Chain A
Amino acid sequence: GENVEQHPSTLSVQEGDSAVIKCTYSDSASNYFPWYKQELGKGPQLIIDIRSNVGEKKDQRIAVTLNKTAKHFSLHITETQPEDSAVYFCAASSADSNYQLIWGAGTKLIIKP
């Protein structure tokens, strides 16, 4: 079955700098890759997603890139702000997994003032 690995587990960056979180997946049939943000005491919330027919997608300060050959995808946050501090989860799904999301272990992003 699908396995998703996420790195790093904790990332600390200076406010205003960029942050990059990476995920690798094992199932070459996976074709949908969302990123969720979880603030303290809340449920995760979708921030961006990408499908396998696209290599990059951008939404303001957030971008996601996908390398199907290498089976990895990354979240890029530019000009980080204090409100970006949260836990970020990547996930992958395919028809083989009955479209259920397989989740990475999460990255705790800390923005230092």
Chain B
Amino acid sequence: DGGITQSPKYLFRKEGQNVTLSCEQNLNHDAMYWYRQDPGQGLRLIYYSQIVNDFQKGDIAEGYSVSREKKESFPLTVTSAQKNPTAFYLCASSTPRATNTGELFFGEGSRLTVL
């Protein structure tokens, strides 16, 4: 079945450690996104990529890094510089948003807890 797969579903990290969240899609979408979700807040955009080997910062990129070496994959690294990394992270993909049409397809999320 086509869709987006995020892993791991749950992740625990000690302070000062980097951690990488995986996101893979087989929908043949050019655009991919990472969002952070905190209780009582809307989704906030961390990074997005419209095409392979290119990506842009979203509203809250500080302390995060991404790569887009393959169309299917858009991993997110939460670095030790991220001051409050405990959150629910959502990956999504879509057809390019050049015309602001196109549904976002989300994975099931990764819950990161910093101990």
Q: Which residues of A contact B (CB under 8 A)?
A: 4, 6, 9, 31-32, 34, 36, 41-46, 49, 89, 91, 93-95, 98-106
Contact = CB atoms under 8 A, between A and B. Distances in A.
Interface string B41-83: 1111100100000000010000000000000000000000000
Contact of B108 (A31, A41, A98): A41
B42 A95 contact: no
A106 B98 contact: no
Contacts of B97: 93, 98-100
Contact of A105 (B40, B90, B92): B40
A102 B109 CA distance: 19
B42 A89 contact: yes
Chain B interface size band reads 20 to 34
A49 B100 CA distance: 12
11 contacts: A6-B42, A32-B100, A32-B101, A42-B109, A43-B90, A43-B92, A45-B106, A95-B100, A98-B97, A103-B44, A105-B40
Given A103-B43, A104-B42, A43 B106 contact: yes
B99 interface: yes
Contacts of B87: none
A91 B92 CA distance: 15
Interface of B: 4, 40-45, 48, 58, 90, 92, 97-101, 103-104, 106-109
Contact of A4 (B42, B90, B106): B42
B26 to A, nearest CB: 16
Contacts of A31: 100
A85 B40 CA distance: 17
A64 to B, nearest CB: 15
Contacts of A34: 103
A43 B109 contact: yes
Given A32-B100, A99-B97, A100-B48, A43 B108 contact: yes
Given A43-B90, A45-B106, A101-B104, A89 B43 contact: yes
